[in-house]
Homo-oligomer: A and B are copies of this chain.
Amino acid sequence: MAADVVLAVDVGGTQTRAALVDREGHVMHRQSVRTPADEGADAVVSAIAQSCRSILSEAGITTAIPLGLCAPGPLDAKRGIALSTPTIRGFTNFPLRQALSDALGVPVTIENDGPCAALGEWMCGAGRGTENFVYVTISTGIGGGVVSDGHLMRGRLGLAGHVGHMPLKTESSAICFCGKPGCWEAEASGSALQKKALVAGFTGLPDVFARAEGREPKALSFVAAASDDIALGVVAIIHLFSPERVVIGGGVSNGFNVLGPLIRERVDARVLPPFRGTEIVRAGLGDDSGLIGAAQLVLHPHTAA
- Judging by beta carbons under 8 Å apart, are B167 and A168 in contact? yes
- Judging by beta carbons under 8 Å apart, are B157 and A242 in contact? yes
- Judging by beta carbons under 8 Å apart, are B148 and A132 in contact? no
Work out how many copies of this chain go into the complex: 2
- Judging by beta carbons under 8 Å apart, are B84 and A242 in contact? no
Say how far A265's CB is from chain B's closest CB, in angstroms: 15
- Judging by beta carbons under 8 Å apart, are B242 and A156 in contact? yes
Q: Which of B155, B169, B170, B274 contacts A241 (CB 8 A)?
A: B155
Stretch at the interface among A211-219, A232-240, A248-256: A232-240
Within 8 Å of chain B (Cβ to Cβ): is A149? yes
Report chain B residues within 8 Å CB of A244: 156
Interface size on A, as a range, is: 35 or more
Within 8 Å of chain B (Cβ to Cβ): is A178? yes
Within 8 Å of chain B (Cβ to Cβ): is A268? no
| Most B Cβ at <10 Å: residue of A86, A155, A165, A274 | A155
A171-B168 contact, Cβ under 8 Å, with A153-B149, A159-B242, A274-B74: no
Within 8 Å of chain B (Cβ to Cβ): is A163? yes
CA distance A275 to B169 in the complex (A): 20
Report chain B residues within 8 Å CB of A168: 166-168, 170, 236
CA distance A84 to B156 in the complex (A): 34
- Judging by beta carbons under 8 Å apart, are B239 and A162 in contact? yes
5 A-B contacts (beta carbon < 8 Å) = A149-B155, A159-B275, A160-B240, A167-B270, A236-B236
